[in-house]
A and B are shown apart, each in its own frame.
Chain A
Amino acid sequence: MSKTIRIGSGAAWWGDRVEPAALNAERGQLDYLCFETMAEATVSAAQVRARRDPAFPGYDTYLDDRMRAVLPACMRQGTRIVSNQGWINPDGAAQRIVHWLRELGFRGVKIAAVNGSLITERVLQLTDRILENGEPTHTLAATLISAEAYLGAEQIAEALRQGAQIVVTGRVADPSIFMAPMMHEFGWDPLDHARVGAGNGIGHLLECGAQVTGGYFSDPGFKDVPDPWNFGFPIAEVEADGSAVITKVAGTGGAVTLQTVREQMLYEVHDPANYITPDVVVDFTTARLEEIGPDRVRVTNIGGKPRTATLKVSIGCTEGFIGEDMFFYAGPGALRRAQLARRILEERFRIVGLEAEEIRIDFLGINAIHGEATPADAPEPYEIAVRVAARTRTREEAVKVGREVDGMAVSGVAHTGKRVPHQDRTREVIGVWSSLVPREKVPATVNYFES
């Protein structure tokens, strides 16, 4: 029988659950366990925090939880780990993993840290235009926090070739984290776009964890899945041509079906024939899906086209603040009282001279989620939360939102329910812009550590 490798998911984002990762490590019979823990603004938020808090190590704040949960089983079974938990400090994350390995009694384990994605100091020289608005990137100079290129799988595969048991990275494109083991195990040439494309497509199916095994899917009466409190994270059984079976540990909740797989296949995809990653351009329009057993979907024929000459760069900038708060109405007439409360707030924002780029006053229960897409004839609910938010240039302006909501307690409308403020009602906005950089200008470097 031809070689098959088993790649499992350990996380789909920073806040993801840890228990399914531990289960995949224990019972997934995995060759590789891969973690995706970053969002668009993760790097910039980490930079802001690192400036304020010198004790912040700059890697995934759940690194300890995740590693303690999976290291024993992974080390016992020879499962290798690929993870982007390095955030802005892959070396630091690798050293922390060394600490846990020693603590658990595993000595002589090789760990690689992939650096090089951070290009904050060079980004204005290396890039030309902002993709979203066509302006020169140097217009961001005054507000720039951080810039990082999305690296591909090549350096991870190289680290695996060098014998690293665990590879921890900074910013790497999400599917590449899951594809790198395929590239290494099957010896794919990085320019073999057919196989790399197929593998990246499978990586895309894995990168959002439970979203392919029944998470973000249940819709009672239409799309029901068993035990949605106990989703298993996905496992791909991958073959040398980049085809794979998507499955999960037996006995876990959720489901792997044609429906769950195709929903994930188009998740965050724009042109399905041209899904651009650092490694390849993936074509999902040729893919074939087949249910070959319970919770087993075979995925073949995902296409690939040659990779682009550039890498995507994310540029995080300070863009002011958001002030936000809410208060509540219930019972007969709740909507009328909420409407009067909105009118009072609008007037008071004028009185205090709130300078805002945008103000939003929603009725949670009616239009706070779908906004202007809410049908005009939506029924009046029994309870309504009035939710107020404004985006401002300064924190002083943002504070006014919460202060005026405070005023609604005794100077507002009958039957107003309100929380005593117990948390900061302002937050900083880190705007994220995109640009492109020639790929040869962003060389990755790998540092090795041993437990």
Chain B
Amino acid sequence: MKVLLQHVAHARSGDKGNICNIAVFAYTPALYPLLKSQLTEERFKAHYGGAIKGEVLRYEVDNLDALNFVAHGALGGGVSRSLCLDNYGKALSAAILGFEIEVPDALLGELRGRDLLQQEH
């Protein structure tokens, strides 16, 4: 079934200049391949709409069950120039938790926050 990414992974964003990195971590090792195959650079960038002006690079960090997305031009010119209230982009990582990801039935037991799945559907 399709679920929101928040059931599969957690995420954290950090700033450097006008670049935001958003690291996405599978909750369990069994869920990590789903991230790798479905959360591509293209889909990641598309999910953020126009909020990411430049290119997105994806680093696979297998030892941490993580993907690190480096989004160029995501911070409105950088912390001090940005007109965004969240000028550090600390809240940007939450947006990707709304990405829809397909989870095979065999892995549904691995999901977090399962009691919330019903009301999301």
Q: Which of A301-345 contact B (CB under 8 A)?
A: 319, 322, 324
Given A270-B19, A285-B63, A371-B51, answer yes or no on A389-B80 (Cβ-Cβ < 8 Å): no
Judge whether A262 is part of the interface by a CB distance below 8 angstroms. Answer: yes
Nearest CB to that of A301 among chain B residues?
B63
Judge whether A360 is part of the interface by a CB distance below 8 angstroms. Answer: yes
Interface 9-residue window, one of A82-90, A184-192, A219-227:
A219-227
How many B residues touch A, CB cutoff 8 Å?
A: 48
Chain A nearest Cβ from B53, distance in angstroms:
9
Nearest CB to that of B64 among chain A residues?
A262
Q: Which of B1-48 contact A (CB under 8 A)?
A: 6-7, 10, 12, 14-19, 21, 23, 25, 47-48
Contacts of A132 in B (CB 8 A): 17-18
Residues B63 and A286 in contact, CB atoms below 8 Å apart? yes
Judge whether B104 is part of the interface by a CB distance below 8 angstroms. Answer: no
Bound Cα distance A370, B50 (Å): 10
Contacts of A273 in B (CB 8 A): 59
Residues B21 and A268 in contact, CB atoms below 8 Å apart? yes
**Interface majority SS (helix, strand, loop, mixed), chain A:** mixed
Chain B nearest Cβ from A222, distance in angstroms:
5
Residues B16 and A270 in contact, CB atoms below 8 Å apart? yes
Contacts of B18 in A (CB 8 A): 132
Nearest CB to that of B20 among chain A residues?
A268
Could you say which of B49, B64, B112 has the most chain A C-beta atoms within 10 Å of its C-beta? B64
Judge whether A40 is part of the interface by a CB distance below 8 angstroms. Answer: yes
Contacts of B66 in A (CB 8 A): 262, 266
Residues A391 and B83 in contact, CB atoms below 8 Å apart? yes
Judge whether B102 is part of the interface by a CB distance below 8 angstroms. Answer: no
Contact with B along A386-399 (1 / 0, CB 8 A): 01011100000000
Residues A373 and B49 in contact, CB atoms below 8 Å apart? yes
Chain A nearest Cβ from B35, distance in angstroms:
14
Chain B nearest Cβ from A428, distance in angstroms:
9
Given B52, B85, B92, which contacts A364 in the complex, CB threshold below 8 Å? Answer: B85
Q: Which of A199-238 contact B (CB under 8 A)?
A: 216-217, 219, 221-223
Bound Cα distance A219, B5 (Å): 14
Give the top 7 A-B pairs by smallest Cβ distance, nearest first. Answer: A268-B14, A372-B50, A266-B23, A373-B51, A360-B83, A389-B83, A373-B48
| 8 examples of A-B residue contacts, CB within 8 angstroms | A40-B79, A221-B115, A266-B61, A284-B63, A369-B85, A370-B94, A390-B83, A432-B17
Q: 17 new A-B pairs (CB below 8 Å) besides A387-B85, A429-B81?
A: A40-B80, A262-B25, A262-B64, A266-B12, A268-B16, A270-B21, A271-B59, A272-B64, A285-B61, A285-B62, A287-B63, A287-B64, A319-B81, A368-B85, A372-B50, A431-B78, A434-B17
